Amino acid sequence: MTSTTRDKVHSEHPSVRSFTTEWDTPEMMKFLQNLGKSIMLPVAVLPVAAILVGIANWIIGINDDQPNVVTSFLQTAGLAVLSNMALLFAVGVSIGMAKKSDGTSALAGLVSWLVITSLLAPTSVMTLLGRGYTTSIAEQGADISAGQKLVMDNGHLAIQTPDVNEAFAPGAFQNAFIGILCGIIGALCYNRFKDVKLPDALSFFSGRRSVAIVTAGVSLIVALILLFLWPLLYSGLVWFGEHIVDLGAVGTGLYGFFNRLLIPFGLHHALNSVFWFDVAGINDLNNFLSGEGTFGVTGQYMTGFFPIMMFGLPGAALAMYTTAKTTRKKIAYGILLSGAVSSFFVGVTEPLEFAFMFLAPFLFVIHAVFMGLSMAICQLLPVRMGFGFSGGFVDLVLNWKNPMAENPWIIIVLGIGWFFVYFFVFRWVILKFQLKTPGREDDDPVDDDGEGGASTGFIGTASKFIDALGGKTNILELDNCATRLRMEIDDTAKVDEPALKRAGAAGTMKPGGHSVQVIYGLNVQFVKDAMEKIMSGEVDPTTVEAAVEAVDEADAAVHAAEEQAEDQGGDTAVLTKPDTKVVTLQRPIPGYAIALSEVPDKTFASGMMGPGLAIVPTSGEVVAPADATVVTVFPTGHAVGLRLTDGTEVLIHVGLDTVKMKGDGFEPLVKAKDEVTAGQPLINVDLAKIEAAGYPTVTPVVVMNDKTATVEFS
């Protein structure tokens, strides 16, 4: 929807404006999902710290537990990351939650961190509250922390400490919670003020230059609020952390259970931050890697991941493979093997978990229960281990010599047991309840409706879509990606899905709240443009439809004449379409293949867009999978449609929801109507930007014009 159209709708319908600014449940869920994804950006730095500290610990172990210059160098570098995690959260979250961030949001997050932590430093709080110092005799070897002073008192060395609440001590205040809060402030200020226009006299400060200034002002207000609120929040967080620890194995098990259960919603990262970092005083991950925790305790919120990730999930993969249909074992093998290897070596479980998460939710609940049990069992046993990235083989080896590691060999013994538990339980449940795990899915149904009911011409289709969506005033926002219309609808009950189908839609999705998506195909942009023209009054659909019908009649007459000429010539071309067509393609982007059903997007996963496969990319060059003609390159560069030499139409869609990036991170190298050869570069993609923006990089490759086709990668 254009801004003019939207303003018109708002002016005519005040309730629409209230809806667009309301903070409803779907918006809250979206906010939390974005927050969870944003947290992963600073967390991605941790493997560097883990490697440096891990190598140093191995050298110390080999050198009779004696550190040297090399180990000191490596440990100092690694601990520099760990000791500044709160600052990294402030910068990373501000980048991840910003819309199309260009670095300005990172500066805003940093400004917020500097303002808030400076204003609420012990000496500043003391001044603001009119407090003084408390004096205590300095003991031999006592350390002087930030805000304290060493003075002479009656001939004795004494330490003066600001008389403020313990919540404002440097170690208590400069934690991950405050870092995340500063990151959110920076991102919100960036999203709101990056396009602001000031009067000519102040035009230098317009746009992005205003963001840091506004952020400083907002942070000043937040700091004043925290001056009185933070002691209460801090006490609550400490209480929560202490009570979770007091629950022992039960608390650890509950954490493991909900850690897995929140994965489909993308909220597990937010939960992890409470236990792994200094949000509620637990700080399990940092304490383990730095070696500053309590031996036999530190690592209890990480140890239980190792047996499941390294052994349990590979056992589940084997169970799913052995129960796959014979005709689909080859496809299942590739999916499950790559997922099992990823889980074992680096602890990346999502490729395997998404293989059955939506196809067999009951299995995923069982998996969550097993994770909780593993965490609880490891908490009870004399075994402790931690990681810098995840619970895989690489982290196990790196941290084997960590001073906080306790009996790591027990992990392997437990893991072997979990392998068999997962294998037999998953196999029995799959066969007992006939679950549709990878390799056991039903064949994609063939739509026999054809295209007879589809609207003729983009204006005609757009007009019917508008009617089926409840009319112009029911459409609050209108946008599109490579194949779908994305809309905000005032009253979703007015959406007529059968009418949309008759008008040419392949399907309709309702993600939640007022969001509606209509799946159309590669020409969706033209339908969206036509809808905007109709809604703005630029085009009268009734007049256009009459013209379209006349053109269609003329086309039909031409085709009839051509057919008659062919009949008279005696040569008739007969096209026999096989029942099942195998489309063999080169991988259009480096990475490992997964089933389309694993894609965390119902439109692709359900096969609504057509059959195909997907790739989890490892680098960002998209190439032609076969000799073809470019049908369309989406304006934002995130998708390309090809017509192969045999007429097969293939869509390559880089990432999910990446249309929202507005082209940032995508560089198209071809244009519509270009002839390309297999292996020719089509798009350069910055995968890091996609991940930083919080979108999955999973790349579906689907056949658009043959629902019976089977896609294979050579």
Q: CA nearest 662: which of 687, 636, 684? A: 636
Q: How confident is the model at residue 521 (pLDDT cuts 50, 70, 90)?
A: low
Q: What Rg value do the Cα atoms of the chain yield, rounded?
A: 30
* Alpha-carbon gap, residue 519 to 537, rounded angstroms: 25
Q: For residue 300, how many C-alpha atoms fall within 13 Å in the half-sphere facing its CB?
A: 25
Q: How confident is the model at residue 29 (pLDDT cuts 50, 70, 90)?
A: low
Q: For residue 504, how many C-alpha atoms fall within 13 Å in the half-sphere facing its CB?
A: 22
pLDDT in tens, 341-357: 878 987 878 768 867 87
Grouping H, G, I as helix, E, B as strand and the rest as coil, residue 357 is helix
Q: How confident is the model at residue 553 (pLDDT cuts 50, 70, 90)?
A: very low
pLDDT at residue 231, rounded to an integer:
86
* Alpha-carbon gap, residue 198 to 185, rounded angstroms: 22
Task: Enumerate the β-bridge partners of residue 591.
Answer: 617
Two tokens at 552? 């269609």
Q: Which residues of 141-152 are buried (b: 16+ CB within 10 A; e: fewer)?
A: eeeeeebbeeee
The full set of domains in the chain, from first to last, is 26-130+165-247 (no CATH), 263-433 (no CATH), 467-559 (3.30.1360.60), 582-713 (2.70.70.10)
3-state helix, strand, coil in the chain (%, to 5): 55, 15, 35
Contact 611, 707 (CB under 8 A): yes
pLDDT at residue 673, rounded to an integer:
87
Instruction: Tell me the average pLDDT across 168-173.
Output: 70
Handedness of CA 520, 521, 523, 524 (dihedral sign): positive
Using alpha carbons, list the distances in angstroms from residue 669 to 411, 635, 682: 49, 12, 5
Q: Which residues of 215-240 are buried (b: 16+ CB within 10 A; e: fewer)?
A: bbebbeebbeebbeebbeebeebbee
Tokens 């969706």 appear where?
524
Two tokens at 602? 């119902």
* Alpha-carbon gap, residue 116 to 122, rounded angstroms: 12
Contact 34, 96 (CB under 8 A): yes
Instruction: Tell me the average pLDDT across 324-350.
Output: 80
Q: Does position 37 have pLDDT exceeding 50, yes or no?
A: yes
Contact 400, 303 (CB under 8 A): no
Two tokens at 71? 């180990």
Q: Does position 66 have pLDDT exceeding 70, yes or no?
A: yes
pLDDT at residue 657, rounded to an integer:
84
Q: Does position 239 have pLDDT exceeding 50, yes or no?
A: yes
* Alpha-carbon gap, residue 641 to 650, rounded angstroms: 6
pLDDT at residue 56, rounded to an integer:
80
pLDDT at residue 415, rounded to an integer:
97
Q: How confident is the prediction for the chain on average, in pLDDT?
A: 79
Q: Which residues are catalytic?
A: 481
Instruction: Tell me the average pLDDT across 248-276.
Output: 80
| 617: enclosing H helix or E strand | strand 612-617
Q: How confident is the model at residue 396 (pLDDT cuts 50, 70, 90)?
A: very high
Q: CA nearest 593: which of 711, 462, 691? A: 711
* Alpha-carbon gap, residue 226 to 244, rounded angstroms: 25
Contact 305, 390 (CB under 8 A): yes
Q: Does position 425 have pLDDT exceeding 90, yes or no?
A: yes
Q: Which residues of 24-35 are buried (b: 16+ CB within 10 A; e: fewer)?
A: eeeeeebebbbb
Determine if the pTM surpasses 0.85. Answer: no
Q: Does position 493 have pLDDT exceeding 60, yes or no?
A: yes
Using alpha carbons, list the distances in angstroms from residue 527 to 321, 475, 642: 43, 15, 19
DSSP codes of every residue in 655-709: SSSGGGGTTTTEEE---TT-EE-TT-EEEEE-HHHHHHTT----EEEEESS-TT-
